[in-house]
Structure 1
Amino acid sequence: MISTVVWGTGNVGRAAIRAVEAHPALALTAVIVHDPGKVGRDAGDLAGAGRRLGVAATDDAAGVLAAGPRAVVYAASGDIRPDEALDDICRAIRAGAVVVTPALYALYDQLNAPAELREPVLAAIADGGGSLFVSGVDPGWGNDVLPLLISGLGTTVDVIRCQEIFDYSTYDQEDSVRDLIGMGRPMDFEPLMLAPTVPTMVWGGQIRLMARALGVELDGIRETLERCPLETAVSTRTMGAFEAGTQGAVRFEVQGIVEGKPRIVIEHITRIHPSCAPHWPSPPDGDGAHRVVIEGRPRIEVTVEATDEGENRSAGGNATAVGRLVSAVDWLVAAKPGLYDALDVPLRPAVGRLGRRPR
């Protein structure tokens, strides 16, 4: 069994605990938390697993790493603390662990990542013999392995479009929805996630990675942005009221330009209520979906819906993103130490998990 640590117990960490516990090759040996109120609580309780797992959460990261875990699922946020996340991840790699995480956006395409991010990771790998694989939580597979796989079914391919279409009132992270995305804020408020160059910082690596896989050269990466206000005030189950006239929907694209045209596109369409921007695409079930559209001959469209954690519908996307990361752990343990991306790490079947009950 591969001794595995989950670091962080938010939206991603909860799913990670459940995924590690369900994997027949992995053993959950520690859970690291930052919140003092979570210290000492059982991992099963924190993850909503429905039973105790016999692993108490701790805030002693140094002690956990000193015990020499073979793998770490780093689920703590890197959105507003990228330097701290990089330091944590390098500490785990230097301790000899394989690390999987969605936290470092620029390493989605690790070959073209900035030197100030890539070099500390490579130094930690050289020192400790660990590895790192970064894949997005939006989810990453929807912006790399799935569109690339589907593209191979076409005779001609004109545009690859990856879409996230979501009702954010189902998302259990109010600070991100209101502050990072700007839902419910005045229309002249500039949220961090929508500021110029930030979408490219987050999703540009996936554009570059797909271009590399497809053997095309990018002229550059371009951003588009549309925002719509709420026409009437709405009330949500998880986050309360959103006033009329404030931002109620956002649509943006990160476009990979090839020979002057947008050929590889990552698009997000998000609302705080279905009544806002009804002229934009909507998810089939009203809550959320991820979709890949291959414009060409034939035209191919694949829509993926995932649900988890009952009414917290956004948790389904988190769970599939985590599944991609956790399923890679045993492959990474068997591989040479290194810095890997989605073109290196195969999408793994659920070996040993079909019909299997948790331990």
Structure 2
Amino acid sequence: MIPTVVWGTGNVGRAAIRAVHAHPALKLSAVIVHNPAKVGRDAGELADAGSELGVAATDDIDSVLAAGPRAVVYAASGDVRPDEALADIARALRAGAVVVTPALYPLYDQRNAPPEFRDPMVEAIAEGGGALFVSGVDPGWGNDVLPLLVSGLGTTVDAIRCQEIFDYSTYEQEESVRYLIGMGQPMDYQAPMLIETVPTMVWGGQVRLMARALGVELDEIRETLERRPLDETVTTRTMGTFEKGTQGAIRFEVQGVVDGEPRIVIEHVTRIHASCAPDWPVPPTGDGAHRVVIEGRPRIEVSVEATDEGENRSAGGNATAVGRLVGAIDWLVEAGPGLYDALDVPLRPAVGRLGRK
């Protein structure tokens, strides 16, 4: 079995612990935490796994990496700390580990990543013999392997649209929801995630990845953005109150333009309450969904809804993103050292996991 470390125990880390424990080729060897209150607690408790797993969380990163883990699921956030995430992942690669993570957006399309992100990873892999696969938590498969797979069912393809549609009132990342994307902030608040060019920095790599797979050249990548205020004050279960008149919904697109037309589009429709912007796209049921639309002949539409941690579809999206990453670990171990992307790493059946708890 492959000794595997989970680094971080937030929304992604909790799902990662459960996924590693359930995978027949992997063995949970350590859990790294930053919060002193979590040190010493059992991984099963931290992950809501339903039972203890016999692995106590630690903040001793040096000792964990010195033990030579074969794989690391890096689940700590890179949203507001990209430099720290880059340094952490480089440490794990220099220790010889296979690393899977959603934390470094620029490496979704690793071949065209900025040198300041790609070069340190290549150097760390050369030094330690590790491997790295980065895939999104929004989730990555919804913006690469799924649309590409479905596109192959069409006779003609005019455009590909990938949508994430979510009500984040059940989400448990208040800092990201309130300050990174600006929910509950005044309408003149400049949310970091919505600054011009930032959506392209985050999702442009996936647009380029799909263009590469489809064999088309992009003229450019464009962005669109719409925002709506809350019509009424709302109270959420996990993050408290969001006042009337503050930002309640956002809708943006990252568009890959081919021959002057947006042909490859990643769209996000995000609300803090279902009552805001009801005329925008909504999920078929519940709090959220991921949707792929292939415009052409025939027109094909696929919606995916996932639930985890109760009825929380936001957590379900995290869990499927984690499933993609954790499910790649044993393939990456066999593939050997290198920097990989979604076109390299196959999405495989859940061999050995049917009926496994």
> Is contact 2:168–2:270 with CA below 8 Å preserved after alignment?
yes
- The corresponding residue for 2:284 is 284
Q: Secondary structure at the match of 1:57?
A: coil
What does the per-residue CA deviation read over 1:100-130, in whole Å, with 9 as the maximum and x for residues that have no partner?
0000000000000011111111111111100
> Is contact 1:171–1:313 with CA below 8 Å preserved after alignment?
no
- The corresponding residue for 1:259 is 259
Q: Secondary structure at the match of 2:313?
A: coil
> Is contact 1:172–1:312 with CA below 8 Å preserved after alignment?
no
> Is contact 2:76–2:103 with CA below 8 Å preserved after alignment?
yes
Counterpart-to-counterpart distance in 2, 1:20 and 1:199: 31
Counterpart-to-counterpart distance in 2, 1:27 and 1:268: 35
Corresponding letter in the other structure for 1:7: W
Counterpart-to-counterpart distance in 2, 1:236 and 1:117: 37
Q: What aligned pairs does 1:161-172 form with structure 2 within 5 A after superposition?
A: 161-172=161-172
In terms of mean alpha carbon deviation, does 12-21 or 114-123 score higher?
Answer: 114-123
- The corresponding residue for 1:320 is 320
Counterpart-to-counterpart distance in 1, 2:274 and 2:165: 11
- The corresponding residue for 1:293 is 293
Corresponding letter in the other structure for 2:335: A
Q: CA deviation at 1:92?
A: 0.5
Counterpart-to-counterpart distance in 2, 1:10 and 1:233: 28
Q: CA deviation at 1:275?
A: 1.1
What does the per-residue CA deviation read over 1:285-320, in whole Å, with 9 as the maximum and x for residues that have no partner?
130000000000000000000000014331000000
Counterpart-to-counterpart distance in 2, 1:275 and 1:66: 51
Corresponding letter in the other structure for 2:90: C
Q: What aligned pairs does 1:94-113 form with structure 2 within 5 A after superposition?
A: 94-113=94-113
- The corresponding residue for 1:205 is 205
Q: Number of residue pairs matched?
A: 357
Counterpart-to-counterpart distance in 2, 1:159 and 1:181: 27
1:26 aligns with 2:5: no
- The corresponding residue for 2:121 is 121
Q: What aligned pairs does 1:16-55 form with structure 2 within 5 A after superposition?
A: 16-55=16-55
Counterpart-to-counterpart distance in 2, 1:153 and 1:177: 36
> Is contact 2:305–2:313 with CA below 8 Å preserved after alignment?
no
> Is contact 1:93–1:129 with CA below 8 Å preserved after alignment?
yes
CA RMSD of aligned residues (A): 0.7
> Is contact 2:42–2:57 with CA below 8 Å preserved after alignment?
yes
What does the per-residue CA deviation read over 1:14-71, in whole Å, with 9 as the maximum and x for residues that have no partner?
0000000000000000000111111000000000001000000000111100000000
In structure 1, list runs of 5 or more residues that go unmatched.
Answer: none
Percent pairwise identity: 82
- The corresponding residue for 1:141 is 141
Counterpart-to-counterpart distance in 2, 1:336 and 1:41: 34
> Is contact 2:286–2:313 with CA below 8 Å preserved after alignment?
no
Counterpart-to-counterpart distance in 1, 2:233 and 2:49: 36
Normalising by structure 2, what TM-score? 0.99
What does the per-residue CA deviation read over 1:262-298, in whole Å, with 9 as the maximum and x for residues that have no partner?
0000000011111111110101113000000000000
- The corresponding residue for 1:220 is 220
> Is contact 1:170–1:311 with CA below 8 Å preserved after alignment?
no
> Is contact 1:24–1:352 with CA below 8 Å preserved after alignment?
yes
> Is contact 1:131–1:340 with CA below 8 Å preserved after alignment?
yes
**Stretches of 4+ moved more than 4 A in 1?**
none
- The corresponding residue for 1:85 is 85
In terms of mean alpha carbon deviation, does 310-319 or 222-231 score higher?
Answer: 310-319
Corresponding letter in the other structure for 1:11: N
Corresponding letter in the other structure for 1:39: V
